[in-house]
Amino acid sequence: MLPLSYALRNLLRDPGRLLQKVGGAAVVVFLVLAAGAFNRGMETLLSASGSPRNVILLGAGSEESVERSQIPVQVETLAAAGVRGIETRLGTPSVSGEVHYMAELLFPDGHTAQALLRGVTPAAFEVHRKARILEGRYPGPGEVLVGRLAYHSLNVPAESLRPGETITFEGQDFTVSGIFAAPGSVLESEVWFDRNDLMTLTQRDTLSCVVLRLDTPDDFANAELFATQRLDLELTAMRESDYYAKLSAFYAPIRAMTWLTAALIAAGAVFGGFNMLYAAFASRIRELATLQAIGYSRPAIFVSLVEESLLATLTGTFLAALAMTLFIDGQTINFSMGAFRMTLAGEVALAGLLVGLLLGIIGSIPPALRCLGSPLPSALRS
């Protein structure tokens, strides 16, 4: 076998061509890593937002959008009394009647932004166990509690949503009472109002949904039976995890488009690499024939050419991973359901490494076979 230093020296022969190889591989791998982080972040957010122990009671026909749902206020007390298997803490059932409303908020500087507003009572923390207040306190009348990523989805500085700041909704000023976290869920992009305030300002006397927390996921049948029996309430029972799974399926085409874009660019890079390597290897046919003449086998030379290509593409893979870590990892992306963070997870990094390996191997095989296919006498005279 030829020494690895031979492949390394050949790479350094032409710095311009080396930059093309490394740069092309870096761009492709970077796009693959970005697409993987985007898909992973969105999928993780939606899958982690729902708990299999939580059940949502919402209006029949509104299974795909809780914002469109309207159910009577008394469903909250009726469900607490009529559904068996609801988890209780200190004798209080974990039942939260909520109002979900999409509307614009006005900030003191005149900026307006659309946000998902949720009218809640303190029972919301009994069913949404990931939620916890980081700063401040639970909101009273005339106050709101904001998620820690709400500033990003609202496109305002984080200081605009600090405790004590004010926002305006429907002509009325509200004071930010605190900031809450709900790691890995869509709740972190929401603004929580006192339920009575939100119902008054939106002029509604119905709830959007009632969320129940069950002792075990198997108790879902009890909630489903309650919804089926109470025909007068026109309810549908859904596992919270199933609700967000439907939302995830709705966004599947967007995730597919990111992969398709990365795949098309990668395919273009592979064909461009073919042309570049054909030219690079073709100019060395006499050199490769000389190596055969002094005793090196064609398989040994073929392996050396593949090594040469791999050195360039793996260098580009490293640079892509470095750029991803510095500029993309941890960045927050907005979408209609809220915001999620792009994360360079282990499987995403592995996908980028595999793409770098495939670019180096697949891109070098056809040019290497073409250049080594000539008879030795004619190759020496070329």
Six-digit token pair at 152?
């990003």
Task: Indicate whether 60 and 207 sit together in one domain.
Answer: yes
Q: Is 236 within the bounds of a domain?
A: no
Bridge partner residues of 119 (DSSP): 99, 193
Query: Whose CA is closest to 138, among 179, 80, 82, 78?
Result: 179
pLDDT at 381 exceeding the cut of 80: no
| Biggest CA-to-CA distance, the chain | 94
Can you give the pLDDT at residue 48?
Answer: 65
Task: Indicate whether 309 and 176 sit together in one domain.
Answer: no
Instruction: Taking residues 24-30, report their average pLDDT.
Output: 88
Q: Is 246 within the bounds of a domain?
A: no
Task: Indicate whether 77 and 8 sit together in one domain.
Answer: no
Task: Indicate whether 177 and 258 sit together in one domain.
Answer: no
Six-digit token pair at 258?
């990111």
Q: Which residue has the tokens 């496109």?
A: 155
User: What does the pLDDT look like over 273-284, one tens digit per residue?
Assistant: 677 777 777 777
Handedness of CA 184, 186, 191, 197 (dihedral sign): negative
Can you give the pLDDT at residue 100?
Answer: 94
Number of Cβ within 10 Å of residue 322's Cβ equals 12
Q: pLDDT tier at 133 (50, 70, 90 boundaries)? A: very high
User: What does the pLDDT look like over 159-172, one tens digit per residue?
Assistant: 999 999 999 999 99
Task: Indicate whether 184 and 268 sit together in one domain.
Answer: no
Task: Indicate whether 211 and 335 sit together in one domain.
Answer: no
- Of the three residues 215, 240, 265, the one that is the final residue of a domain is 215
Can you give the pLDDT at residue 169?
Answer: 95
Instruction: Taking residues 249-259, report their average pLDDT.
Output: 80
Full residue range of the structural domain in which residue 25 is found = 4-48+251-381
Can you give the pLDDT at residue 368?
Answer: 82
pLDDT at 71 exceeding the cut of 90: yes
The count of domains in the chain is 2
Q: Is 233 within the bounds of a domain?
A: no
Q: Is 220 within the bounds of a domain?
A: no
Q: Is 232 within the bounds of a domain?
A: no
363 Cβ contact list (under 8 Å, min separation 6): 270, 273, 274, 277, 309, 313
How much is the pTM? 0.76
Q: Is 300 within the bounds of a domain?
A: yes
- Of the three residues 190, 215, 240, the one that is the final residue of a domain is 215
Task: Indicate whether 279 and 336 sit together in one domain.
Answer: yes
pLDDT at 336 exceeding the cut of 70: no
- Of the three residues 215, 235, 264, the one that is the final residue of a domain is 215
User: What does the pLDDT look like over 31-65, one tens digit per residue?
Assistant: 889 888 888 887 777 766 778 899 999 999 888 88
Task: Indicate whether 304 and 176 sit together in one domain.
Answer: no
Task: Indicate whether 318 and 354 sit together in one domain.
Answer: yes
Task: Indicate whether 205 and 60 sit together in one domain.
Answer: yes
Task: Indicate whether 26 and 62 sit together in one domain.
Answer: no
Q: pLDDT tier at 148 (50, 70, 90 boundaries)? A: very high
